[in-house]
Amino acid sequence: MNEIITLSSVLGSLLYYPLSHEQNQVILQQLTQWTEGEHPFLDLLEAQQQDAPDTLLEDYQQLFEGRESMPAPPWGSVYLDKDQVIFGESTLALRAFLRQHQIEIDTGLREPEDHFGLMLMSLSQLLSDAQSQNSGKVLLSHHLLPWGYRYLTLLKQSATTQTYQCLADIAQQWLEYLQQAFSVQPVEMKVYR
């Protein structure tokens, strides 16, 4: 379970903060020192070495902050709300769920909690409490899986760097692994994007 907690937190950070963020720099440095067994991040590290830092930042800004338009918005309500807005009904449902489990997301910004990266970090917090592991399944089946695969498909298609394309692949494989490991299926919801 510790690996699931750690990898959910790592992927959440890599998909929330820019790669140049201090926390992600520490993560990437630690990943370069990973020598045991299969290395799921090897392609990511190689791609990051090939992509120029300013190109990575531009790609991050387009994919996660948006400029004129966002080809792959990282917020669940954009996919699950009929009007494709942030802070939609699904965001409010997730917020209530997180409060019920005493998880407060405070990034210092007024932003929706249903950001893909934040949700992976929330999953990590839920799973670190043995009594909340069933709640982790609910987070996956009700709040992340219904839209997560669609988001990751758009993320990979929209990324201009190999690094973010690779990160989308890793995250997709991770969702598939989590779905199988916890034997959960996404709740059927209409995806509007």
Structural domains in the chain, sorted by start: 1-182 (1.10.3480.10)
Average pLDDT over residues 23-49: 87
Cβ-Cβ contacts under 8 Å for 172 (sequence gap 6 or more): 149, 152, 153, 156
pTM over 0.85: yes
pLDDT at 106: 73
Rg over alpha carbons for the chain, rounded to the nearest Å, is 16
Residue 9, C-beta contacts closer than 8 angstroms, at least 6 positions apart: 120, 121, 124
Choice between 173 and 106, residue whose per-residue pLDDT is larger? 173
What pLDDT score does 35 carry?
Answer: 63
Higher-pLDDT residue of 182, 108: 182
